[in-house]
Structure 1
Amino acid sequence: MQITIRKGGPDDVPAILGMLDSCVEWLVGQGRTEQWGTTPLSENHKTVESVVRSVDEGVTYIAEADGVPAATLTVTDAPGAYLAHLPPPGEPERYIHWLASDRRFKGHGAGSALLAHAAEETRRSGVSLLRVDCYAGADGKLVRYYEGNGFARAETYTAGNGWPGQVLARRL
């Protein structure tokens, strides 16, 4: 299976929401409902607004597997407002939002290819810090996934509803 990466845009929002819904369905099937709940994210008005805002404000990349959208992420200049309580890094950064993959393509490397692409594009732009945050509860698999892709734990946080989060950073 060949993975190619292209820039995305507003026309990709339905596909991005489909990937997020695929992740929720997969997580529910694993009994892992703490991260994103049980309802498709495309049915959550705030999530849809957040995805649209990220696509509008940042640069979205779509990884395609043999021409089919398989994974996505968006890179902006800052984390989401929900992390405003954390100290800023004190230097320019790029921040990854909404990394998700269609679970039909799990294990084909589309997510890792996107992370490597985001790192290279960040480095190429002259910025040496790439950060991301994720769910840090349950068995910690997601945090370890990012660590396996070159990120290191930076700050932990708890969202207002008790949701455990982890900010990770990658020096480029």
Structure 2
Amino acid sequence: MLDSAVAWMNARGNTEQWGTTPYSQTSGGAARVERYTTQNSPYIAELDGAPAGAMVLDSGPSPQMPIAAAGEPERYVRLLVSDRRHAGLGIGAALLARAVEETRRAGVDLLRVDCWAGGGGGLVAFYQRNGFVPTDTFLSGTWPGQVLARRVG
């Protein structure tokens, strides 16, 4: 799914968000996915019994990202991806709704996510349509990022 997301972005001229190398072939890509599935809380959306999207929740942002701690308990969307063959079916939105449910279930009021802020801000707008509010911007190397938050309590 991550490899096809890179190919999909590249086909649309976006080579900055995740680069041009298939995710599975990037340095640390496979190990990161293994950590996501063993050390975090992964969720898989299915369509007709086949994986159609994935989300990973954690208790905070990646330590590798220059993002300040929230200063309160939080849940953090560390990964959200959908199979681009099913674009437009609301898979990402459904996974975010699940993140809201899981955050509430944990008794936590704050759900945050960070994303690529380049390319005209389309990804930031997606999170805003799903109830998130932009908070902080950051730069990871030359990669422009946006942190967004949603109160769920």
What band does the TM-score fall into relative to the shorter chain? over 0.9
TM-score, normalization by structure 1: 0.85
Alpha-carbon contact 1:51-1:98 (below 8 Å) kept: no
Alpha-carbon contact 2:61-2:67 (below 8 Å) kept: no
What's the offset of the Cα at 1:47?
Answer: 2.0
RMSD: 1.0
Q: What is the rounded CA distance, in whole Å, between the counterparts of 1:36 and 1:24 in structure 2?
A: 6
Question: 1:18-167 counterparts in 2 under 5 A?
Answer: 19-83=1-65, 85-160=66-141, 162-167=142-147
What's the offset of the Cα at 1:134?
Answer: 0.6
Count of paired positions: 152
Alpha-carbon contact 1:65-1:110 (below 8 Å) kept: no
Q: What is the rounded CA distance, in whole Å, between the counterparts of 2:67 and 2:85 in structure 1?
A: 35
Q: What is the rounded CA distance, in whole Å, between the counterparts of 1:53 and 1:166 in structure 2?
A: 23
Identical positions, percent? 52
User: For 1:8-51, what per-residue CA distance to the aligned partner results, in whole angstroms no more than 9, with x for missing partners?
Assistant: xxxxxxxxxxx111111110110111101111101113122222
TM-score, normalization by structure 2: 0.95
**Displacement over 6 Å in runs of 4+:** none
